[in-house]
Chains A and B, each alone.
Chain A
Amino acid sequence: MTIPTSNAEAIGAHRARERRRWRTVLLFLALMAASFVLDIATGPSMLSPAEVLRSLTGLGDRAPMTDSIVRSLRLPMALMALVVGAALGAGGAQMQTILNNPMASPYTLGMAAAAGFGAALVLAVGGLGLSAMIAVPLGAFVFSMLAAFFLFMLASMRRMNTETIILGGIALLFLFQSLLSLIQFLSSPELSQQILFWLFGSLTKATWPTLTLTAIVTLVCCIVLMADSWKLAALRMGEMRAASLGVNVRFLRMKVLVIVAIMTATATSFVGVIGFIGLVAPHIARMTVGEDQRYFLPMSVISGALMLSAASVLSKSIIPGALFPVGIVTAIVGVPFLLWLIFAPRKRT
């Protein structure tokens, strides 16, 4: 006969595991903060982290020029990296959760490609009287939401399973990529160059108003997702199991899809297409803190923010003085990192 395990002992072990997970989350938060300071420090005129901190806090002796560089030029970009990374990390995490597939992300399901097409279309045909600053992100947002609406319709059909939704998303990816190529093919070299620049994904487009809007949308969406954390954890155990625990699976899937769509479409429309964050950040979270969503979601958010912030530092460090579009860096660094994640021995708290 099996000897009953002491409840106190098992609960103590569980609490210790919870503390370990919080420590891991805090460690990543500290790394993210360090990367944020480095991101501000890095650029054509290199600053020391101490100068950055003095300028951010307003304490100590500081040159007016440094304050101007830090607060007006680099701070919105560095914060945008954190906010967009967080949005993509959370979006990818919940796409993978609701579709029960580690390959799912707003990027792989065509929402980013749709945003790219929307932006290109506006650049090519004009923004119906609106200025390009407003019309291009709006076009990207509208088409990204259209792609999400298509996925939403698929998810709302009773006989559709997760595989069908993923296939639908991949079809969208190819469709919008082809349409985008068509626009580029028909465009003048100058316009094609403009489209290409938007597609690279760049934080230089960040301004205080776009940053504020993206931050508010991301924060609200993450809070709503967090409220469903137990249901989302149950959904990862399979549709049938989640339903047996009282989860309205179809409603939850559609609700999360809408939230993810709004969050990632907002982020993408202001900075362009940035791949891999949404795919890789949830994997980092899963490997470090597991899939208890109370830790998994914050960890995906922080990992995404850290990754994009670090990519931003890299994009400015490859050739000193030159600024590579961050979207290129995330893809180039993301691929080997993803491979390492796949093949590395697994150990998590």
Chain B
Amino acid sequence: MIEIENLSVKRGGQTIVRGVSTRLEGGRIHAIIGPNGTGKTTLLRAIFGDLPIDKGVVRIENKTISATGRKRLSDWREHIAYMPQDTGADVALTVLEVVVLGRLGKLSLHIDDETLEMAMDRLNQAGIGHLAGRDIASLSGGQRQMVLFAQVLMRQPKVMLLDEPVSALDLKHQVALLDVVRRETRANGWATLVVLHDLNLACQYADNLLVIADGTLKASGPPKQIMTPDLVHETYGIHVEVLHDRRGNPVVQPLGNIHEISSEDEISPANEGMLA
């Protein structure tokens, strides 16, 4: 479980994250959504200990980091796996070697068969075992993203922080990756915090949504409870319909800018409907 208390983070003298407080349970997926440049990545990096905290505390089990206490970062990060947005990997390493690096700290000069087996299992889990012998630099952005995700899985963390892990993936691989995230999170009791831009994927996969705008936590809770047209309008400044699929998960349908909606397109006051 991650506990965040009144967390504020500054970058370049500007407060990017202000007073965020929340509890993120283990075994559940917590999706951060919100417009570009509102502090989602900053929040993730601060939790990882990569950016100094201005105010507040982050607590994972019995360890904490705060404005004053971030001396033993390696200790803090021991059970955290962080997948940054960047998928650049212009390095002459094979996919299998890149995934093996996920065990950094436990590797000796000889890679044993057990570690290689584990790396192959992770690659097969991500559906890219056939790429094991390829150079990482020769892969597409989407393939690299899957490889780097397999590397994160190798860490066997307690907390998984994923920053836009599906940004370069086609729909099939988005679903495949998030299916693995859900399965592993549930099976291992990990607390998974994932930044997503696709609201429908977020509603589909998250147990808990964290809506960030202007660096503050605007709303949080299960998607079925909090995803409303008003919330999306307040957060993104656009009008949407919120429908529901057969399992009752919200499906967000954009209506475009309010000024572009014709009278025939006007929607019901509730702005809600059911998918057939």
A-side interface residues toward B, CB under 8 Å?
1-5, 7, 10-11, 13-14, 17, 226, 229-231, 233-234, 236-238, 240-241, 243-248, 286, 290-292, 294, 348
Contact = CB atoms under 8 A, between A and B. Distances in A.
Contacts of A291: 91-93
Interface stretch (B82-90, B204-212, B237-245, B256-264): B82-90
B113 A10 contact: no
Nearest to B113: A11
Given A14-B133, A244-B82, 14 more contacts: A2-B128, A11-B117, A14-B96, A226-B109, A234-B104, A240-B84, A241-B148, A244-B152, A245-B102, A245-B104, A246-B74, A286-B92, A290-B93, A292-B97
B123 interface: yes
22 contacts: A2-B129, A2-B130, A5-B124, A5-B129, A7-B124, A10-B96, A10-B116, A10-B132, A14-B133, A230-B104, A233-B91, A233-B97, A243-B48, A243-B82, A244-B83, A245-B155, A246-B104, A248-B74, A290-B92, A290-B94, A290-B135, A291-B92
B77 A246 contact: yes
Contacts, number: 105
B101 interface: yes
A103 to B, nearest CB: 14
Contact of A10 (B73, B93, B133): B133
Nearest to A247: B104
Contacts of B132: 5, 10, 13-14
B133 A348 contact: no
Given A5-B129, A292-B97, A14 B50 contact: no
B106 to A, nearest CB: 10
Report the contact-size class of chain B (Cβ under 8 Å from the partner). Answer: 35 or more
B3 interface: no
Give the 3 A-B residue pairs with the shortest CB-CB distance, closest first: A5-B129, A244-B82, A290-B92
Interface in B96-148: 96-98, 101-102, 104-105, 107, 109, 113, 116-117, 120-121, 123-124, 127-130, 132-133, 135, 148
Given A236-B91, A244-B84, A5 B105 contact: no
A244 B85 CA distance: 11
B195 interface: no
Residue from A1, A291, A348 having most chain B Cβ neighbours under 10 A: A291
B78 interface: yes
Contact of A13 (B113, B124, B133, B152): B133
A62 B222 CA distance: 89
Contacts of A3: 130
A231 B104 contact: yes
Contacts of B199: none
B130 A5 contact: yes
A247 B78 CA distance: 11
Interface string B134-177: 01000000000000100110010000000000000000000000
Nearest to B98: A237
Interface in B6-28: none
A135 B234 CA distance: 73
Nearest to A13: B133
Contacts of A243: 48, 50, 82
B81 interface: yes
Contacts of B78: 246
Nearest to B135: A290
A194 B104 CA distance: 50
A17 B133 contact: yes
A236 B86 CA distance: 13
A82 to B, nearest CB: 23
Nearest to A289: B92
A286 B152 CA distance: 25
B86 A230 contact: no
B30 to A, nearest CB: 18
B93 A292 contact: yes
Contacts of A10: 96, 116, 120, 123, 129, 132-133
Residue from A230, A234, A248 having most chain B Cβ neighbours under 10 A: A230
B104 A238 contact: no
